[in-house]
């Protein structure tokens, strides 16, 4: 009864609390130090003095605080008047949790500061420390996740100085600066994935995640969850808590959709919505989330043909086809062979080199597997060879079935071109060949393509590139 009555008097309670607080803090303190307004020590308890190697506390009196406690922040407290309520201080006997308070006079002027070393055994802080450790762990795992989500390649990894490769790199560099979707087209092993990494690395999103999804490698039934994530409770078991999808993981960064030609139609519509409305929902949730990703898509399929047979949505195609980059097959840029071989051999232990016959052999194969195949062949040959010099015979057996380079189909009258730059000559040749085929079929691209043995879209792209499209 008496206590309750006393507790109603706020001023009184306040004084009691101040006194209790001070006593508790002081009693549980491993060390206490008081400084004046010049941060010189005016008092220190014996225990604290001994921790800092003094025989007795008296030796500290009058010294600048940093002389005794090198990493002390009491000067900062005196100067700013701001307390530092919780901090860790490294001391000779191990880390301490410390609290630093300014001391005011009756007029509110800062006349000094007091520092308490609260705990030397962190077990007193168990809940705080547990939480801290948890956060540390989360931070570490997020960091390693992010690390795994960094792009692996830059443009420097894309080897090739042929006109075709330079054009690819030029377009890719330009696309890096843009936010529009990029569509990477090309046969298997031509470097689509490599280029996707490089574009991300050169983009303003380079320090954000790069997340890949291989649409062909994930079963259709799991793809949607993989993509959009699942809401808590959407599934039983391990996924009960909900799981973020690749779209969320890629927030702020780049989402690389590999083999997009293999994406199921239902998911294509949802992807279209992400691109158009920049929003999506997790599986089993009605909550609409905003998406902020840059999309890079790749495929080795002919998407225009996929549209015709109904496995790819035309509207998605147009949305993706803003910045298409066609990666030329290796057989169309054999000029790149020496540089590619040199780079690949440099990466293989053993300082291997190719002899002249080997170089000639490489230039006679059509490389259906493109740079990936070239890499495999060189690796295999180097592995089996005791000599640093790799000869044609060894390469020949590593290649297996040699595919001859396609012969240009002879036109009714072979176009005359002046001897000179190879690419200019080839362009002139192609332009003439296509012009003739178009003329034979009254400008019908479909029929001309069939006549030339090309896909309609391939021919159309060539026409655009050669300035024949009008």
Ligand X SMILES: Nc1ncnc2c1ncn2[C@@H]1O[C@H](COP(=O)(O)OP(=O)(O)OP(=O)(O)O)[C@@H](O)[C@H]1O
Residues that bind ligand X (CB under 6 A): 157-160, 186, 188-194, 300, 340, 371-372, 375
Smallest distance from ligand X to CB 317, Å:
18
Smallest distance from ligand X to CB 327, Å:
6
Smallest distance from Mg ion to CB 372, Å:
9
The SS3 assignment for 466 reads coil
Radius of gyration from C-alpha coordinates of the chain: 36
| Number of residue whose CB is nearest Mg ion | 193
Q: Of 53-61, 77-85, 140-148, 188-196, which segment contacts Mg ion by CB under 5 A?
A: 188-196
Smallest distance from ligand X to CB 153, Å:
7
Under 8 Å between Cβ of 336 and 162: yes
Smallest distance from Mg ion to CB 161, Å:
23
Under 8 Å between Cβ of 211 and 341: no
Under 8 Å between Cβ of 423 and 430: no
Q: What is the 3-state secondary structure (H, E, C) of 201-238?
A: HCCCCCCCCEEEEECCCCCHHHHHHHHHCECCCCCCHH
Name the residue nearer to ligand X (CB basis): 31 or 189: 189
Under 8 Å between Cβ of 255 and 298: no
Residue 40 binding partner per list ligand X, Mg ion, none, with a CB distance cut-off of 5 to 8 Å that depends on partner kind? none
Please give the distance of CA 274 from its chain centroid, rounded to a whole number. Answer: 20
Residue 194 binding partner per list Mg ion, ligand X, none, with a CB distance cut-off of 5 to 8 Å that depends on partner kind? ligand X
Residue 426 binding partner per list Mg ion, ligand X, none, with a CB distance cut-off of 5 to 8 Å that depends on partner kind? none
The SS3 assignment for 119 reads strand
Distance separating alpha carbons of residues 189 and 138, to the nearest angstrom: 37
Name the residue nearer to Mg ion (CB basis): 29 or 201: 201
Residue 191 binding partner per list ligand X, Mg ion, none, with a CB distance cut-off of 5 to 8 Å that depends on partner kind? ligand X
Sheet holding 31-36: strands in order across? 41-44, 31-36, 110-119, 94-104, 84-91
Under 8 Å between Cβ of 198 and 157: yes
Q: Of 73-81, 192-200, 359-367, 375-383, which segment contacts Mg ion by CB under 5 A?
A: 192-200
Name the residue nearer to Mg ion (CB basis): 193 or 224: 193
Q: Of 138-146, 185-193, 264-272, 327-335, which segment contacts Mg ion by CB under 5 A?
A: 185-193
Q: Of 50-58, 102-110, 189-197, 341-349, which segment contacts Mg ion by CB under 5 A?
A: 189-197
Name the residue nearer to Mg ion (CB basis): 270 or 372: 372
Name the residue nearer to ligand X (CB basis): 166 or 439: 166
Number of residues that bind Mg ion (CB under 5 A): 1
Smallest distance from ligand X to CB 186, Å:
6
Distance separating alpha carbons of residues 70 and 195, to the nearest angstrom: 53
Reported for 42-46, long-range contacts at CB under 8 A and 24+ positions apart, including other chains, are 42/112, 44/68
Name the residue nearer to Mg ion (CB basis): 193 or 226: 193
Distance separating alpha carbons of residues 182 and 236, to the nearest angstrom: 37
Name the residue nearer to ligand X (CB basis): 326 or 457: 326
The SS3 assignment for 259 reads coil
Residue 31 binding partner per list ligand X, Mg ion, none, with a CB distance cut-off of 5 to 8 Å that depends on partner kind? none
Rule CB under 5 A: choose which of 193, 224, 226, 430 binds Mg ion.
Answer: 193
Smallest distance from ligand X to CB 377, Å:
12
Name the residue nearer to ligand X (CB basis): 39 or 362: 362
Smallest distance from ligand X to CB 320, Å:
16
Name the residue nearer to ligand X (CB basis): 112 or 181: 181
Burial class (CB in 10 A: 0-12, 13-18, 19+), 377: buried
Burial class (CB in 10 A: 0-12, 13-18, 19+), 227: buried
Smallest distance from Mg ion to CB 336, Å:
18
Under 8 Å between Cβ of 340 and 329: no
Q: Which residues contact 54 (CB under 8 A, 6 or more apart)?
A: 60, 68
Smallest distance from ligand X to CB 297, Å:
12
Alpha-carbon distances of 158 from 133, 163, 197, 331, 337, rounded to whole Å: 42, 14, 10, 17, 13
15 HSE (CA, 13 A, CB side): 5
Name the residue nearer to ligand X (CB basis): 342 or 387: 342
Smallest distance from ligand X to CB 190, Å:
5
Which DSSP letter does residue 295 get?
A: E
Residue 331 binding partner per list Mg ion, ligand X, none, with a CB distance cut-off of 5 to 8 Å that depends on partner kind? none
Residue 372 binding partner per list ligand X, Mg ion, none, with a CB distance cut-off of 5 to 8 Å that depends on partner kind? ligand X
Name the residue nearer to Mg ion (CB basis): 193 or 373: 193
Residues that bind Mg ion (CB under 5 A): 193
């Amino acid at each position: 009864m008496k206590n309750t009555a006393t507790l109603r008097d706020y001023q009184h309670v306040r004084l009691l609390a101040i006194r209790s607080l001070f006593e508790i803090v002081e009693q549980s303190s491993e060390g206490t130090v008081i400084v004046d307004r010049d941060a010189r020590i005016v008092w220190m308890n014996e225990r604290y003095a001994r921790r800092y190697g003094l025989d007795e506390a008296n030796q500290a009196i009058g010294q600048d605080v940093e002389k005794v406690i090198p990493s002390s922040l009491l000067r900062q407290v005196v100067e700013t008047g701001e307390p530092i309520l919780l901090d860790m201080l490294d001391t000779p006997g191990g880390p301490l949790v410390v609290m630093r308070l300014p001391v005011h006079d009756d007029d509110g002027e800062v006349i000094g500061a007091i520092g308490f070393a609260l705990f030397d055994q962190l077990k007193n802080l168990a809940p705080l420390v547990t939480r801290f450790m948890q956060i540390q762990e989360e931070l570490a795992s997020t960091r390693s996740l992010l690390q795994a989500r960094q792009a692996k390649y830059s443009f420097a990894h894309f080897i090739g100085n042929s006109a075709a490769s330079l054009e690819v790199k030029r377009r890719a560099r330009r696309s890096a600066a843009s936010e529009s979707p990029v569509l990477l087209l090309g046969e298997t092993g031509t470097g689509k994935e490599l280029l996707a990494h490089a574009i991300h690395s050169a983009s303003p999103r380079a320090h954000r995640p790069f997340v890949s999804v291989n649409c062909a490698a994930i079963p259709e039934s799991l793809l949607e969850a993989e993509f959009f994530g699942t809401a808590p409770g959407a599934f039983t078991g391990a996924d009960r808590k909900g799981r973020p999808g690749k779209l969320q993981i890629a927030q702020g960064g780049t989402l690389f959709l590999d083999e997009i030609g293999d994406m199921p139609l239902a998911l294509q519509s949802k992807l279209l919505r992400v691109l158009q409305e920049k929003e999506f929902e997790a599986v089993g949730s009605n909550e609409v989330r905003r998406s902020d990703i840059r999309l890079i898509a790749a495929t080795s399929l002919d998407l225009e043909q996929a549209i015709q047979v109904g496995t790819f949505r035309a509207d998605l195609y147009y949305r993706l086809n803003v910045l298409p980059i066609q990666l030329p097959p290796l057989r169309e840029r054999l000029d790149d062979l020496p540089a590619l071989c040199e780079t690949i051999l440099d990466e293989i232990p053993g300082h291997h080199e190719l002899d002249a016959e080997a170089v000639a052999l490489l230039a006679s194969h059509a490389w259906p597997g493109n740079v990936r195949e070239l890499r495999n062949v060189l690796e295999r040959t180097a592995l089996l060879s005791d000599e640093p010099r790799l000869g044609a015979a060894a390469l020949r057996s590593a290649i297996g079935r040699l595919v001859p380079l396609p012969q240009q189909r002879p036109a009714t009258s072979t176009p005359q071109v002046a001897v000179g730059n190879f690419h200019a000559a080839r362009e002139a040749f192609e332009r003439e060949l296509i012009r003739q085929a178009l003329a034979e079929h009254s400008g019908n691209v479909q029929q001309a393509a069939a006549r030339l043995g090309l896909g309609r879209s391939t021919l159309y792209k060539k026409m655009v590139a050669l300035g024949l499209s009008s």
